[in-house]
Every structure is written in C-alpha cells, then in structure tokens.
Amino acid sequence: MNSLPKKAEENEVRALVFFLCSVFAPLWGVGYVLPFLLALVFDLCKGCPPRKIRQLARDRSLAPLFIVFLLFLGLVLFSSVYHTESKWGSTDGLWVVFSAFLFFVFGIAAGAGTGTKKLIFYLKLYFCLGFLLIMLTTMNFPSFRGGIWGEMNDLTTAVLMITGALCGIFLGDMRKASDIRVAVLLLPFIAFAFYFSVKISSSDAALLLLVGLFFFLSILVPGRYAFAVIWTFFLLIVFTGIVYMVFGEPFNFKSLLSTQRLESFLSFRPQGWLASLSLIRENPWTGIGSGLYKQFYEVLLPLLPGKKLVLSHSHCLYLVHFVAHGAAAGLAFITLLALNLRLVFNSLKDPELAPLALMVVGIWFFALTYGLVELTPASRELVPLIWGTSGLLAGYSVRGKAACIGKKRLI
C-alpha cells in the first residue's frame, strides 16, 4: 500500500537532485559536475527506464526536439572529425554540445516521473540558497575573496539568469493577494542583481537587460497580483537607476552619447559579424572547426585597420555554429532554439506548469538577448542551467499531458 507514495517521493528526490546539479553546475563548470550526473544515470533509469525515455522521445511535442538535437549533434561531430585541429572542449566544441544534450535528456527523465507542486516549493527554497551561494562567490573584500571564475561575463550571466528564474518561479505561482508577501523574498536578490550590474559587472548591457527582464515578465505572468508585483519591481529598478545616475556621480550625457562611448559599447562587434559572414560564405558546408579562432582573426584584421584587435570569435550566439560547423549545423541550432521556445510558451497555458515555464523563460531571456553580442550563454559553465531546466520542463509537460489523457479515459 505504501509503495506508490514511496516511489513518488523517490522520484521527487531524483528531480530535486538533478535540478540542484543543474543550478550549481554554473558555479563549478560542467567538467566537475558531469561525472556526478553520469553517476545519477543509473538512478534516473530506475525511475524512468530507457524504454520509457524512448516513448517520451516519440511524443508529438518532443519528437521534433529530439530529432533536431540529434541532427545538430551529428553535424557538430562530423565537423569536429573533419577538422582534425578542432578543439572539442571549446565553447562551440563537441563536448559542450554533447553535455547540453545530456542535461536535456536527464532533465526529461527526471521531470517525467514526478509531480509539480512539492517540487515547486523546493525549487523556491533551493533557488534562494543557490543565489546566496552565487552572492558569496562574487564578494571581494580584504577579509573574504570570492569569485571562482576568471571570466566576468560568465558570472554576470549566471547572476542575471538566476534572478530571472527566481522571479519566474515565484511570480508564476502567485494566485491570490496573500502570495504577495512571499514576493518580498525576491527583493534582496533583485537588489543584489542591480548592484552587481552597476558595480561589479564588466558589461554595459547588464542593467539594461535586467530592466528588460521585468518588462518582459510583466507581459507573461498569469495573474493580476503577479502583474502588480513585477510591474512594481520594474518601476523600482528604473527609478533607482535614474536616482543613482543623477545623484550617485556626475553624469555626462554628452560623453554617454559620444562616438567613443558607442564604439566602446559595441567593441567592434559589427566587424566581427561581418567577418563571421565572410567565413560562412567561404566554408558553407563544414565550417572552420570548433575553437579555431586563428582563421577568424585573419579575416577580422583587415576590417579593423589601425585598431587594436579585441575580438577573436563571432561574439554572437546565433552565428557561432554557422562559423564553426557550417550552415546546416547553424540552421539546426536555430531550429532547436525555436522548438524549445515553442515548448516553453505552450507550457505557459497550463496553470500548473506556469511557474516552471516562467522559470525557464527567465533563464532563456538572458541567453537569447545577451547572446546577440556574446557567446557566454553557450559556455560550458551555463549549459546545465539552460538545458537542464529546459529538459525538466519538457519532461513535466509530457507527463502532464499523459495524466490528462489518463483522466479522460477514466471518465
């Protein structure tokens, strides 16, 4: 009699452990977390055996995702083997793409075997703990030096993504006025993200993206109470930013709008995109190989006469696989993004899935916007957070549909 509740509890623990690995992996990097996840495969397969995973993969909503993901992986493998000098561990390399696929599949396996209500409670709790740990890693005092990455863009993106995920999962679960007091818990984390964007981040776009997140979420949150809270946060951030810029330090609008300032902000990225397009035209089928930035440098240099070179790759999430692996791989990657987003937005229609869907929306918002000018969202440190949570949501969405079909049959 107690076997079913016990099994449900075991599945919830599996999903929670997987989720924690996905969230904390950005702090350690895929190379450190992947062995632990591989050790979890056996445990995941006990709750969701390979036969069940194959059934999930044949679901109408997941089958296109699986097919395109496998096609993309195959094209990357072909390009990596064809270019013997390819660096398989680079941002656009095979191991990073393969780890994205693994996290996505593991997420589906974990999500397909559990319910959502208790997990959402735990996600709220552990997201807060995860964010506190990220705050500790960014501190830099004489008595305490944090910061475990050498790349500030990666750390900035992680802070913004987890802020977006926190807002999504808290506000997506807000259905009545009494839930507003829970939203107060978000304030210290939003305040830290604001402080990080202004004081710590090396990216001029961080604060602008943070403001854009709140405006974007205000459109998607389901209830009027959630809308009121997120719009209040939006106005608070905008007002605080204006006050800080006007009274915090002398503000020179002429300098802000100068050609030098604009040039510094763009960091010659348009020339990088032109160099990318030139390389795609020269190598349309197999690309130049992963991590082979020497060719990029040689094409970019003539576009920057008399300038110090600041770019060694495309600095664009949407072009990187076109350059590295060819047009077919690039198109497969863009198609994969579109199919994944379609699944996420369809999940918003289900009130039970809305918190998880908004959590994933908060993460992907920064991946897709910051990805316009940076490759950071494709880095191995952020792969678990992006693709692991997407897989978790995909597994839940398929499980929810199966449960609805089962109820209809019983009726």
User: What pTM did the predictor assign?
Assistant: 0.83
Q: Are 239 and 189 in contact, with CB atoms under 8 Å apart? A: no
Whole-angstrom distance, CA of residue 180 vs CA of residue 389: 25
- Write the burial class of residue 261 (CB in 10 Å: 0-12 exposed, 13-18 middle, 19+ buried): middle
pLDDT digits (tens, 9 = 90+) for 75-111: 999 999 998 888 888 888 898 898 889 888 888 877 7
What tokens appear for 242 in the block? 């204006």
In this structure, which amino acid lies at residue 80? S
**Which pLDDT value is given to residue 306?**
54
Residue showing tokens 């300038």: 307
Whole-angstrom distance, CA of residue 61 vs CA of residue 240: 43
Residue 167 pLDDT greater than 80, yes or no: yes
CA dihedral 336, 287, 381, 356 (to 10 degrees): -10
What tokens appear for 271 in the block? 């020339």
If one counts every other C-beta atom within 10 angstroms of the C-beta of residue 287, the result is 32
CA-nearest of 295, 275, 234, 272 to 372 is: 272
Residues 6+ apart with CB under 8 A from 81: none
Q: Are 4 and 381 in contact, with CB atoms under 8 Å apart? A: no
CA-derived radius of gyration, the chain:
22
pLDDT band at residue 140 under the 50/70/90 scheme: low
What tokens appear for 296 in the block? 């990029």
Residue showing tokens 């993206």: 209
Whole-angstrom distance, CA of residue 386 vs CA of residue 407: 32
pLDDT digits (tens, 9 = 90+) for 43-80: 666 666 666 666 776 777 788 898 999 999 999 999 99
Task: Name residue 140's beta-bridge partners.
Answer: 145
Residue showing tokens 């259905």: 175
Q: Are 45 and 114 in contact, with CB atoms under 8 Å apart? A: no
pLDDT digits (tens, 9 = 90+) for 354-387: 889 999 999 999 999 988 888 888 887 788 889 9
Whole-angstrom distance, CA of residue 195 vs CA of residue 13: 34
Residue 116 pLDDT greater than 80, yes or no: no
CA dihedral 124, 127, 132, 133 (to 10 degrees): 150
Q: Are 317 and 368 in contact, with CB atoms under 8 Å apart? A: yes
Residue 138: how many CA atoms within 13 Å on its side-chain side? Answer: 25
More confident residue, 404 or 308: 308
Task: Name residue 137's beta-bridge partners.
Answer: none
Residues 6+ apart with CB under 8 A from 247: none
